[in-house]
Amino acid sequence: MVGRALINSLGDEWNIRVLSTRKNASVKGAQVFFWNPQDFEIDQRAVEGVDCIINLAGASINHKWTTEYKQEIVDSRTRTAETIFKALRKSSSTKPECYISSSGVNYYPNSLDRVFTEDDENGSGFLAQVCNLWEKGADNFKALGIRVIKLRIGMVLSREGGALKKLEPLAKFCLNAPIGSGKQWVSWIHIEDLINVLQKSLQDENMHGVYNAVAPSPVTNKEMVKYLAKAVNRPVLVPFVPPLAVKLLFGQMASVVLEGQQASAKKILNAGFAFKYPSFEGALKQLYE
């Protein structure tokens, strides 16, 4: 979802290459190269003479967390970075100017009252561990003299996919409801603002290190439900979904909705970035108008 939006926004200004695990795949507006990061296989031509690499790869977390799938979540983030790193180290061409890696606000511990900055500690849950390994993989590129940016991304608001596409049908049938207490925080970002953050990361040589890619106004789960219902002109009829029911339905993956982090946008704002959609209600209004 994010990759397609990014390609569309870059247009003809950049010559774009895409890595795909499907042979003979085609992507409008880009040249496609095959890779199989599970076996550290990549078409070497993909990394020759590139200016910047944006790694958005990662298996979906919206899947039953079996032991095997949890390993796939980790591998899809760490092996992809390692595969690219090995290809760049092997390449004789000039190294890219920057390497931009996605990560997540799940890096931080679960909290109802703390606001987390990029300097705060790593959490202890599964997704926090995944984000930590993800970012360590990105840090390896510093050894090649490459500027590294790691974006801890919140929930991306888009009607093309992600959480909103799953929640919208529930809201339209008045089945969307706060999860548990509804007090858990949701750090989020409109898809258009995320694309602009990625473009700024590409072009601003002063940007390096970690940035929370989140809007400056996080919402609680209860507020998110209320605003989404308003956006689709439906009432909220179900008072709440009991935590036990969520755990029975989703197992370990229930932590994704039962826990939350309030991430600060101060660093990206101080870097000169201006959000087009700073409020959750305003972002939904634009998406549903």
Confidence of residue 95 (pLDDT cuts 50, 70, 90): very high
Which tokens in the block code for residue 261? 């982090």
Q: By C-alpha distance, which of 206, 227, 76, 101 is closest to 157?
A: 227
Confidence of residue 62 (pLDDT cuts 50, 70, 90): confident
Helix or strand (DSSP H, E) at 36: strand 31-36
Rounded CA-CA distance 56/9 in Å is 16
Query: DSSP letters along 133-195, please?
Result: HHHHHHHGGGGGT-EEEEEEE-EEE-TTSHHHHHHHHHHHTT----BTTS-SEE-EEEHHHHH
Indicate whether 63 pLDDT > 90: no
Do 28 and 218 touch, CB atoms closer than 8 A? no
Confidence of residue 149 (pLDDT cuts 50, 70, 90): very high
Indicate whether 280 pLDDT > 90: yes
pLDDT per position as a tens digit, 21-32: 999 999 999 999
Report the chain's mean pLDDT, rounded to a whole number. 95
pLDDT of residue 112: 95
More confident residue, 254 or 146: 146
* Pairing assessment for the beta strands 155-157 and 115-116 based on DSSP bridges: unpaired
Rounded CA-CA distance 7/191 in Å is 13
Q: Is the dihedral of CA 150, 155, 159, 163 positive or negative?
A: positive
Fold of 2-288: Rossmann fold (3.40.50)
DSSP letter for 46, please. G
Rounded CA-CA distance 122/131 in Å is 9
Confidence of residue 250 (pLDDT cuts 50, 70, 90): confident
pLDDT per position as a tens digit, 209-220: 999 999 999 999
Indicate whether 115 pLDDT > 90: yes
Mean pLDDT, residues 66-74: 96
pLDDT of residue 12: 86
Mean pLDDT, residues 131-152: 98
pLDDT per position as a tens digit, 187-242: 999 999 999 999 999 999 999 999 999 999 999 999 999 999 999 999 999 999 99
Indicate whether 36 pLDDT > 90: yes
pLDDT of residue 253: 87
Look up the pTM and report it: 0.95
